[in-house]
Amino acid sequence: MDDLWSLPSITIILSAILMCIMLMYAIVYHQERGVRYFVWVLVCRVVYAGCVILEISRSDLQTKLFFRNIEQTALLFMVPLMVLFVLDLVGKDKWLRLRWSLSLLALFACWAVVIWAEPYWHVINRTQELINGHLVTTKTPYSLVFNLLCYAIIACCVFVLVRYIRSTRPEIRGAGMWLLLFGCIPVLVEMMKLFKPNLSPWLLPLSVYSGICGIIMFWIILRKRLFSSVPMARNIVVETMHEGMLIMNTDGNIIDSNRFARLLLEVDDNHPILGRSYGEVLTAWPQWQSACARMEECRVEISTRIGHEKKSYIVNVYPFFTQRQRKLGTISIIIDITEKQQALEQIARLNQMKDQLFTAVSHDIRNPLAVQVNLLEMLEQDNESSRQANREVFHALSEQIRNTYSMVENLVEWFRGQKEGIVLHPESLIVSEAVEEACRLLVLNCEAKQLTLHIHVDEEIRVHTDREVLILVIRNLLSNAIKYSIQGGVILIRAIASGGRVEITVQDDGIGMSEEQISHVFDDTRFDSTIGTAGEKGTGLGLLVSRQFLRMSDGHLKVRSKLGSGSSFTIVLEDGDLR
């Protein structure tokens, strides 16, 4: 009965009770980050403290060595468990896969085997003896190197934990620092025992008392609920939210922030924003700074550059109060509206294009129709005109009607292309047939200018595209060639198949274009159209519509031109024989 209430027995009983409590805690909070590993770290610490007491209470060398081996094994497994705890706490889940965890534990398990095989291998201790009833050992170089490696790993874990704790809320930060301090005391004692083995008789009892630190650490965890959802959720949710959060006190100093806000406001990691005044941090945004100074509700739109990208934000500033409505400070919620701002800018550009389009159409569609009306009135009023004059009037009327028709069709196709969900029907088409159909409507225009049209298209060449798109694009290019050709000029249409692509070229020997005019051809925001050689007018929609539908058909347009030397427009599409 006396043995039951001896110090070693009481220690074992208390250690067993404490370990059961820890395991129950781990089971209850097993889904929280870090709990499953940290509890086992504390279990190893309690086992170590209990075995130290049992070692002190024994007098024979072999029993002391047995408990010393248990102590060393418990300390050994604290290292990988500490690494796993830190990785779990900071969210490095990819390193916590079963394969990596078992590999890490197996590495230290191998050294545990060496510890227990010491009587046979003599790798751990050079000497081991009893001095005044205390077991004193000196380490071999192998053991010293391994211990130093373990302490280096622990130091890295402590460094990561300090950075992590600094990013938490003040009440959590304080408890976390105390937890870290109590956790480091036993490590410091073990380091002193390693480098000063002669002090082991004095340091061994201190190890027992430092083992109490594990109990204190567990009490802090329970008291502050450090691993429960309430405090940890703040760090997880707030740090990962897509809005920035900045909290200032009544003195105008920043007391809390999240990662989003730090990314926006911190110049670099050497100048953190916590503790700094709003006057230093918000200098670039006076309205935001003023709202924080007055502690009044405000909505501010700001912009800045992060890296090479321009960012836009909406900042909502709210004061917060005590229960007696005394102001305690402000909280700023920062919302990224960069995509929305870009969408608004795009809408503004589209509206500008729409205005230009309507201006061009209202002018260019009214004039041709007015001419047609006048021509028809002339035919009705002048019945005695000669037959030749009538032919000229009919020809002019025919030309105007065709131009108007072409412009209206391009306009309709452009609007159709702006609508989402437009569907093309690509198929294998014979190029020569599409060219002939496109030319049929423009033959009279060629004759009016006495132009010679040469078509060199092999009847076997095919392209894979939508039929209506192909005819529309060829007709627009041919219409432009006629428009800018000089009286009596030559227009050439040819097609070449090469490398899985087909190039259809419409070439004229007209007035050509300058480099600036060529650049305007590929600008989707311009509707410029110069007057033709015979005074023809247009809206500039033809090339815009052509480029748009070519892009939708996985094709593109190439242009070569020089002032006074004509122009060459080439359609590049997929070869239809490959389909």
User: pLDDT digit string (tens) for 190-211?
Assistant: 777 777 767 666 666 666 555 5
Instruction: Check if the beta carbon of residue 408 is closer than 8 Å to that of residue 467.
Output: no
| pTM metric for this prediction | 0.43
CA dist., res. 420 & res. 552, Å (int): 12
DSSP-assigned letter for residue 551: H
Range of lowest pLDDT (3-7, 300-304, 331-335, 464-468): 3-7
According to DSSP, the residues that pair with 319 across neighbouring strands are 330
Crossing angle of the two packed helices 200-224 and 35-57, in degrees rounded to 10? 150
Q: Tell me what pLDDT residue 490 has.
A: 93
**Which two structure tokens, joined as six digits, stand for 321?**
């109060």
Q: Nearest 5°: phi and psi at 289? A: -60, -40
Rg for the chain, CA atoms, rounded:
42
**pLDDT given for residue 4 in this prediction:** 38
Do residues 124 and 139 make contact, with C-beta atoms less than 8 angstroms apart?
yes
What mean pLDDT is predicted for residues 237-251?
A: 78
> How confident is the model at residue 162, as a pLDDT?
84
Q: Which of 35-39, 65-69, 413-417, 456-460 has the lowest mean pLDDT?
A: 413-417
Integer Cα distance of 316 and 376 in angstroms:
66
Per-residue pLDDT of 56-82, as tens digits, reads 788 888 898 998 899 889 989 989 998
For residues 431 and 497, give the distance between their C-alpha atoms in angstroms, rounded to a whole number: 11
**Residue that wins the pLDDT comparison between 35 and 234:** 35
Q: Which amino acid would we find at residue 222?
A: L
pLDDT given for residue 491 in this prediction: 93
Predicted local distance difference test score (pLDDT) of residue 432? 92
Residue 229 confidence class, pLDDT cut points 50, 70, 90:
very low
Kindly report the length of the chain: 579
What is the per-residue DSSP string for 308-340? TEEEEEEEEEEEEE-TT--EEEEEEEEEE-HHH
Residues 160-188 have a mean pLDDT of 75
User: Does the pLDDT value for residue 559 go beyond 50?
Assistant: yes
pLDDT (tens digit per residue) in 526-550: 766 778 888 777 666 778 878 888 8
Question: Which residues are bridge partners to 128 per DSSP?
Answer: 137
Work out the angle at residue 481's Cα, subtended by the Cα atoms of residues 480 and 486, and round it to the nearest 5 degrees: 120
Instruction: Express each pLDDT in 388-407 by its tens digit.
Output: 556 666 666 666 666 666 66
DSSP string across 106-175: HHHHHHHHHHHTHHHH--SEEEEEEETTEEEEEE-HHHHHHHHHHHHHHHHHHHHHHHHHHTS-HHHHHH
Does an H or E element contain 444, and which?
helix 443-448
Report percent pLDDT > 70 for the chain: 71
What is d(CA 124, CA 117) in angstroms, rounded to the nearest whole number? 9
Mean confidence (pLDDT) of the chain: 78
Rounded distance, CA 465 to CA 182, Å?
Answer: 75
